Amino acid sequence: MARSSKSPRRILRAAYQAGCEALPSYSHIFSPKKFTQPQLFACLVLKEFYKCDYRGVVALLADLPELCQEIELTLIPHFTTLQKAAGRLLVMAGARRLLTATLRQARRAKITRQRLRLAALDGTGLESRHISAYFLQRRKKTKKIRQEKYTRYPKVGLLCDCASHLLVAAVPGRGPGSDSVHYRRALKEALYSVSIDTLVADAGYDSEDAHVYARQVLGIRSIIPSTIGRPTAKLPTAYYRRLMRRRFDRKKYGQRWQIETVTSMIKRNLGSALRARNYHTQGREILLRVLAHNIMIIRFLRVFYKAK
């Protein structure tokens, strides 16, 4: 997605519209009423779009008054105002409302549907420091400096629509660890805004409980390869894991790579390193990055369809 001169204005407009649908204008009856919550949310999305910090996006708004006009912003907020807004707007419930608003925008633009035929789930790790891969490679060759190892890092479970690459759920967490810890929560979060026919996930989610929860509790057909455990030619004893071994739908499971594409899109377009430093702020930044990803897809596809 190239950043043309019109891209930030389109991104701001889409973020502002989503904020107007999901958020009240002010958080409190005694609010100073200098900025509305949709305006602050649009500024936060612009921050992720340009991969800058709070001070950077404030400087950007000061240099480009046409961006302020796009969201009817008469005053430029202080960077601490944006920082406090992120802590208030990007809690899980608020992020869920904003994510639902972006999916409603996508449905109106006929990019996606309320009922998803195929969805994919996977977890991915993010960097907590701004260290380039080249620097790490050169550092390994230096014997005088001990190589650091990351024992803990930010992680997120992502659930996407395979047809549009839109994210319908995101569950921030910590790694390393099993992907299965966010399995139930990701499905619950997704069902707030969409319904799912079939779910595909890799062997990291393989368990009889995962199939039972998806198929019998939520009514979602789950396709997960039954490969966890000691290699053996015998069929698994559990019903659904045995079913996966005997009648595995390889054609639909082949679309699981769509979630890998989404992960790559986020890391290439918005960055793989987080600027936040503690657990809670990192979780909020991950959710903001997910929202920015959806808004960028909506604006890009709208322009693409109009051009056709």
Q: How confident is the model at residue 206 (pLDDT cuts 50, 70, 90)?
A: very high
In this predicted model, what pLDDT tens digit does every residue of 35-92 receive, in sequence order? 999 999 999 999 999 999 999 999 999 999 999 999 999 999 999 999 999 999 999 8
Tell whether the model's pLDDT for residue 306 goes beyond 60: no
pLDDT of residue 96: 95
**Could you tell me the pTM of the whole model?**
0.89
Tell me the angle at which helices 54-63 and 37-49 cross, rounded to the nearest 10 degrees.
100
pLDDT of residue 73: 92
Q: Are 89 and 98 in contact (CB under 8 A)?
A: yes
pLDDT of residue 134: 66
Domain boundaries of the chain, sorted by first residue? 7-89, 114-274
In this predicted model, what pLDDT tens digit does every residue of 240-249 receive, in sequence order? 999 999 999 9
Q: Are 125 and 92 in contact (CB under 8 A)?
A: no
Mean pLDDT of 20-26: 94
Burial string for 55-66 (b: 16+ CB within 10 Å, else e) reads eebbebbeeeee
Q: How confident is the model at residue 171 (pLDDT cuts 50, 70, 90)?
A: very high
Rounded Cα–Cα distance for residues 64 and 30 (Å) = 30
pLDDT of residue 52: 93
pLDDT of residue 4: 47
In this predicted model, what pLDDT tens digit does every residue of 160-170 receive, in sequence order? 999 999 999 99
Average pLDDT, the chain: 89
Could you tell me the sign of the dihedral formed by the alpha carbons of 215, 220, 223, 229, in that order?
A: negative
- Supply the CATH classification number for the domain 114-274: 3.30.420
pLDDT of residue 71: 93
Mean pLDDT of 226-245: 87
